[in-house]
Amino acid sequence: MALQLPDLPYEHDALAPYVSAETLGFHHDKHHQAYVTNANKLIAGTDLEAKSLEEIIAVAAADPAKKGLFNNAAQVWNHTFLWHSMKPNGGGAASGAIAKLIDRDFGSFDVFAEKFAAAAVAQFGSGWAWLVSNGDKLDIVTTANADTPIVRGLKPLLTVDVWEHAYYLDYQNRRPDYVKIFLDKLANWDFANANL
């Protein structure tokens, strides 16, 4: 059973003007699709074909000879998680259970937002910033390239993609502006609550 590209959970223009239809067209239809296609090529004819995406990622993470498979399979997972981390009319302060945990573990939502933005901006080169559950505590982590918290025993709650392909058409080199817009206008706290 080959891996499939999931549909976006909204239309390509649903996040405009903050993330344009053009960006989502390239990011989902081209980049995410390429990770799916490449991962499928690398598992074709092996026993990994019968495994779930999460199982494929775990196997590849444990085997340096499978670095190429890890990169593509993890990017399939990361991007599927990313689409749900954003929603139309999202952003602003968290609500529900996650809001209470953010207050408990970061002091306030504003402190959390400042630290999350700083981490996302400081990630050198390509990668991701994540809000995760680490045991019984929330934490902010960054991962480089395709790396993903699910191979570190962490439970992802929300993510922002800071690869240039995620923002360059709309923000060029202004990653801080893109990260601020993610927090102010896009972050899907319903999804983060559902992941708790």
Interacting residues toward Mn ion by CB under 5 A: 161, 163, 166
Helix, strand or coil, per DSSP, at residue 145: coil
Measured from the CB atom, the residue of 31 and 51 that comes closer to Mn ion is 31
Query: By C-beta, is 81 or 163 nearer to Mn ion?
Result: 163
Q: Which helix (H) or strand (E) holds 130?
A: strand 127-134
Shorter beta-carbon distance to Mn ion: residue 32 or 185: 32
- Please report where in the chains the tokens 């999931």 appear, as a residue: 6
Vertex 117 angle, CA 115 and 121, to 5°: 120
Q: In this complex, which beta carbon is closest to Mn ion, that of residue 101 or of residue 147? A: 147
Instruction: Report which of 71, 85, 72 is spatially closest to residue 132, judged by C-alpha positions.
Output: 85
8 Å CB contact between 129 and 123:
yes
Q: Minimum distance between the CB of residue 59 and Mn ion, rounded to whole angstroms?
A: 23
The CA distance from 27 to 171, in Å, is: 14
Q: Least Å distance between CB 83 and Mn ion?
A: 10
Residue nearest to Mn ion (CB): 161
- Closest distance to Mn ion from the beta carbon of 82 (Å): 7
CB of 26 vs Mn ion, minimal distance in Å: 10
Which residue, 83 or 163, is less far from Mn ion as judged by CB? 163
- Report the DSSP pairing between strands 127-134 and 137-144: antiparallel
Give the strands of the sheet with 155-161, arranged side by side. 137-144, 127-134, 155-161
Cβ 128 to Mn ion shortest distance, Å: 8
Residue among 133 and 159 whose Cβ is closer to Mn ion: 159
- Which tokens sit at 161? 């993609």
Preceding omega of 17 cis (within 30 degrees of 0) = yes
In the complex, least distance from residue 50 CB atom to Mn ion, rounded to whole angstroms: 27
Q: Please tell me the distance from the alpha carbon of residue 96 to that of residue 29, in angstroms, as a whole number.
A: 33
